[in-house]
Amino acid sequence: AQSVTQLGSHVSVSEGALVLLRCNYSSSVPPYLFWYVQYPNQGLQLLLKYTSAATLVKGINGFEAEFKKSETSFHLTKPSAHMSDAAEYFCAVSVGGTSYGKLTFGQGTILTVHP
């Protein structure tokens, strides 16, 4: 069984500041890890994914995440926040293989960016 915990349901940063959204996972097998973003009135969109290759994963819009097995974490970061980054972010895990799309999601983190 898998589970995902996102620390902080709301995160607020100033424009230009570092963005850090925290995600910890639990999985009985090597995980596949994902970050999805949901902009207002839009469907979820894949930001980046870890599938057992490089532990530092780069995604769209300047976001990146690092898989740390020892900490069971997959935190999402961006060096400098833009107003357009305001959205809800979801961390998710799957076991891969034929069940790769059967995702277990965290509860989401709403990111607010202040001018």
Partner 1 sequence: GAGVSQSPSNKVTEKGKDVELRCDPISGHTALYWYRQRLGQGLEFLIYFQGNSAPDKSGLPSDRFSAERTGESVSTLTIQRTQQEDSAVYLCASSSGQNTGELFFGEGSRLTVL
Instruction: Note the residues at the interface with partner 1 (CB under 8 A).
Output: 4, 32, 34, 36, 41-46, 49, 51, 90, 92, 94, 96-108
Please say which residue, 70 or 98, places its beta carbon nearer to partner 1.
98
Please say which residue, 51 or 77, places its beta carbon nearer to partner 1.
51
CA atoms within 13 Å, Cβ hemisphere of 63? 22
Closest CB 103 distance from partner 1, rounded Å? 7
57/51 Cα distance (integer angstroms): 10
22/10 Cα distance (integer angstroms): 11
Closest CB 17 distance from partner 1, rounded Å? 26
Please say which residue, 81 or 87, places its beta carbon nearer to partner 1.
87
66/74 Cα distance (integer angstroms): 6
